[in-house]
């Protein structure tokens, strides 16, 4: 039997399948890995906006993940919408059970692309305290970066403050910097190096672009790529999925996550 690398995902259920766990599932499968899903929140949303979210009881998150962990060897782990500090604490405990060599991608989801919050009070602090110390790479967009760092406007300083004392690299996605005609993403590494990569800006607004990037990164790391290789490949895969995006409803477009289009 040819078992693909398995990626364990913690995230929210999005009924549009544009973002959240199903975005992870489509991406990870397209990239030749097998996804496992632990549901941290349910959401009521369409392609235009998030109407509501309901946080999963942390005890259920624990039982759902524990059953999977007892059954399956995990090659990489990815977190998306965790919604509440109590869920972050539980997920951090569960991830702590994995061998330390298993890469962890943390997409620090705080809000939907349309602006609605996907986080209860205290989420930022919980992510910083409990999850970021175990992360291999964190993938904030610019608003998430500034919120996580607690710094209002200095992107460079904010990224460096997240590196402090940890082992995580920080991949800052630059889509929100509309002063640049291209989109510039920056990878900050704990050794102080910064690598910028420039992509043609695509329109319109997308639903699930951050989820796609984090899931692709987890898949490439699960396949054994180094972080530098995985970041380049995940950015390329994500950009192509956005280039082929399609509309399902009246709002944001959805990335087409089939590989090799
Ligand atoms: N996770 C869930 C469950 C969501 O509903 C959303 C956005 O609506 C996100 C994550 C973040 O999506 P994006 O990749 O667009 O940042």
Tens-place pLDDT, residues 224-234: 999 999 999 99
Where residue 260 falls among pLDDT bands split at 50, 70, 90?
A: low
pLDDT band at 166 (very low <50, low <70, confident <90, very high): confident
Q: Does ligand 1 have an atom closer than 6 angstroms to the CB of 50?
A: yes
Tell me which CATH homologous superfamily contains domain 6-139+209-256.
Ribokinase (3.40.1190.20)
DSSP state of 247: -
Mean pLDDT score, 189-200: 95
% of the chain at pLDDT higher than 70 = 99
Could you tell me how many helices (H) and strands (E) the chain has, helices first? 8, 9
Q: Confidence band (pLDDT; 50, 70, 90) for 149?
A: very high
236, 252, 248, 250: which is closest to 204 by C-alpha?
A: 252
What is the band of 45 on the pLDDT scale with cuts at 50, 70, 90? very high
Mean pLDDT along residues 167-177: 93
Secondary structure letter of residue 141 according to DSSP: B
Q: Write down the pTM of the prediction.
A: 0.97
Percent of the chain with pLDDT over 90: 90
CA neighbor of 130 nearest in space, from 178, 161, 96: 96
**Nearby residues of 171 by Cβ (< 8 Å), 6 or more positions away:** 137, 138, 139, 185, 186, 187, 188, 213, 217, 231
Segment (H or E) for 6: strand 6-13
Which of 13, 27, 210 should be mutated for ligand 1, with most atoms under 8 A from CB?
210
- Residue 46 beta carbon below 6 angstroms from any ligand 1 atom: no
Q: Scan for tokens 């489509």, then name that residue.
A: 26
**173 Cβ below 6 A of ligand 1:** no
Q: Give the chain's mean pLDDT.
A: 95
Q: Give Cα separations from 71 to 54, 96, 113 (angstroms).
A: 28, 17, 35
Quick count: other Cβ atoms within 10 Å of Cβ 189? 16
Q: Is 43 in the pocket of ligand 1 (CB under 6 A)?
A: yes
Strand arrangement, sheet containing 76-79: 50-55, 34-45, 6-13, 76-79, 104-106, 137-138, 169-172, 182-188, 194-200
The residue contributing the CA closest to ligand 1 atom 11 is 112
In the prediction, which pLDDT does 261 show?
52
- Is the separation of the CB atoms in 85 and 129 below 8 Å? no
Higher pLDDT, 101 or 179: 101
């Amino acid at each position: 039997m040819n078992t693909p690398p398995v990626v364990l995902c913690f995230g929210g259920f999005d009924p549009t399948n544009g973002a959240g766990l199903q975005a992870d599932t489509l991406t990870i499968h397209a990239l030749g890995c097998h996804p496992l899903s632990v549901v941290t929140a349910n959401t009521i949303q369409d392609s235009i906006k998030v109407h509501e979210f309901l946080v999963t009881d942390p005890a259920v998150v624990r039982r759902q993940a524990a059953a999977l962990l007892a059954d399956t060897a995990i090659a990489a782990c990815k977190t998306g919408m965790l919604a509440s500090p109590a869920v972050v604490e539980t997920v951090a405990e569960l991830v702590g059970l994995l061998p330390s060599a298993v890469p962890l991608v943390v997409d620090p989801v705080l809000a939907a692309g349309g602006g609605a919050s996907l986080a209860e009070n205290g989420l930022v602090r919980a992510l910083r305290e409990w999850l970021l110390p175990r992360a291999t790479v964190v993938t904030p967009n610019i608003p998430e970066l500034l919120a996580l760092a607690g710094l209002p406007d200095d992107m460079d300083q904010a990224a460096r403050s997240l590196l402090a004392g940890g082992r995580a690299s920080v991949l800052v996605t630059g889509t929100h910097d509309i002063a640049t005609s291209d989109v510039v993403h920056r990878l900050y590494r704990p050794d102080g190096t910064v690598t910028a990569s420039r992509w043609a800006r695509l329109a319109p607004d997308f639903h699930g672009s951050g989820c796609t990037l984090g899931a692709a990164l987890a898949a490439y790391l699960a396949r054994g790529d180094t972080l530098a290789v995985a970041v380049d490949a995940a950015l390329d895969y994500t950009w192509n999925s956005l280039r082929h995006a399609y509309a399902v409803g009246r709002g944001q477009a959805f990335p087409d996550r089939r590989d090799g289009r």
